[in-house]
Structure 1
Amino acid sequence: MKSITIKGSQRESVGKAATKALRNAGKVPCVLYGGEKPLHFSADEISFKDLVYTPNAHTVVIELENGEKFDAVMQDIQFHPVNDKILHVDFYQLFEDKLVTMNIPVRLMGNSPGVRNGGRLLFRKRKLEIRALPADLPDFFNVDISKLKIGDNISVESLLSDDFTILHPDSTVVVQVKTQRAAIVVEDDEEVEGEEGAEATEGAAEGAEAPAAETPAEESAE
């Protein structure tokens, strides 16, 4: 898995006044857990851009001013309720021989024939929670939907690996194609229009890796 470097400064004071001063200076208070004791540090808010505002999963290298480096994963993040500024970030330290739990994004590949024939693509699980050693963490799950017909689905069972444990039941549906509520009968001259609409539906699903691109209309239709 790819790593992002966060350069920070160790915090000597963790009181409210010191924390407020850090935020006013454009820095984010952070805590690294998992070691012998929690490590309090701060980093520039802009440093988190590629870690937070992305659909991809990354590990982190925390690099302090004194030269110390720590491998970690982001465990929790708090945002301001009004302006969405990052208020606080918790990290968990990684060790080569210790399992870690992480959410891994799902990426859809290919075009579903079921959608081209009038079916509806439902993207049920955009991320899957797994447990693995740091070296075995995948960047994402590639899910091939090029053979999905109407009524077909892809479940967690087909994504199992010896390198990690997926923390969902094997029967959990990741993506499926369902029939529309009304039967669709198309003539030859209507086929093109139907396919264009289906491709647009698929494109929306494939591009839905970004957190904001949820498909509530489809997912709530169940």
Structure 2
Amino acid sequence: MAAKLKAALREDHTKSATKEIRESGHVPSVVYGKEKESKSISVNSIELVKTVRDEGRNAIISLDVENDKPVDVMLHDYQMDPLKDELIHADFYIVDMSEEMDVEVPLNLTGDAPGAKEGGVLQQPMYELQVRAKPADIPEEITVDVSELQIGDTISVSDLPKASSYEFLEDADTTIATVVPPDTLDAEEEDTDENAEPELVDAEDNSDEEK
């Protein structure tokens, strides 16, 4: 069952009106979709944040716009005020529940890797995976168990269990978790330092020549 969220139509797009909406605890927003007319709306900021927190980033939301029928939407994008850490704008996309769509799903590693306890370093190159599924079949997250990873072991997209309701769009050999030997990390740092020093020397020499 989709989460419900009420929305008010927004006709005044002046800065003063937008500021007033935000000061009242609401977020100026837009709702649009394929072959659908876009509408300017506003939603309660607290209710939106609560819905996303409780239902997940890819949750299906039944958006109840005043003077219109509720529509199924997903939060497509949003903007935050970096100074106040407040939500200042949101985009909602009208979804077709019978049509597949591509979304990014959070990747969560669980368990303790034995290789990490033996001195290795557990690395997670990716924190989201692209998935194709119908809106109702989009998983809230992809969980990967790393409790058997030894030093040098790797888990790739091809190692993930196959699901009938969705498919992964990443390359099969894409690494999503690995335990790197500690000496490998040391070697990488040394290589970085060695490569950086000549560049600094050259830079100084060039500056002297220009003088």
Write out per-residue CA displacement over residues 24-83 of structure 1, whole angstroms, 9 at most, x where no aligned residue: 222101111105201221111111223556894341221234463221111111112321
1:163 to 1:150, Cα distance in 2 relative to 1, 3 A = same
SS in 2 for 1:23: helix
Aligned to 1:173: 175
- Trace 1:152-191 onto structure 2 (pairs within 5 A): 152-159=153-160, 160-181=162-183
Equivalent residues, number: 182
SS in 1 for 2:76: strand
SS in 2 for 1:170: coil
Q: Distance in 1 between matches of 2:118 and 2:94?
A: 48
TM-score by length of 2: 0.76
The answer to which of 161-170 and 135-144 deviates more is 161-170
Gaps of 5+ in 1: 183-222
Aligned to 2:97: 96
Choose between structure 1 and 2 for higher RCO, CA contacts under 8 A separated by at least 6 residues: 1
Write out per-residue CA displacement over residues 177-215 of structure 1, whole angstroms, 9 at most, x where no aligned residue: 111128xxxxxxxxxxxxxxxxxxxxxxxxxxxxxxxxx
TM-score by length of 1: 0.72
Aligned to 1:12: 11
Gaps of 5+ in 2: 185-211
The higher radius of gyration belongs to 2
1:171 to 1:83, Cα distance in 2 relative to 1, 3 A = same
Q: Distance in 2 between matches of 1:5 and 1:56?
A: 13
Q: Distance in 2 between matches of 1:161 and 1:37?
A: 35
Give identity over the alignment, percent: 31
SS in 1 for 2:96: coil
Q: Distance in 1 between matches of 2:125 and 2:64?
A: 37
How large is the Cα RMSD of the aligned pairs? 2.5
Q: Distance in 2 between matches of 1:117 and 1:178?
A: 11
Q: Which amino acid aligns with 2:30?
A: V
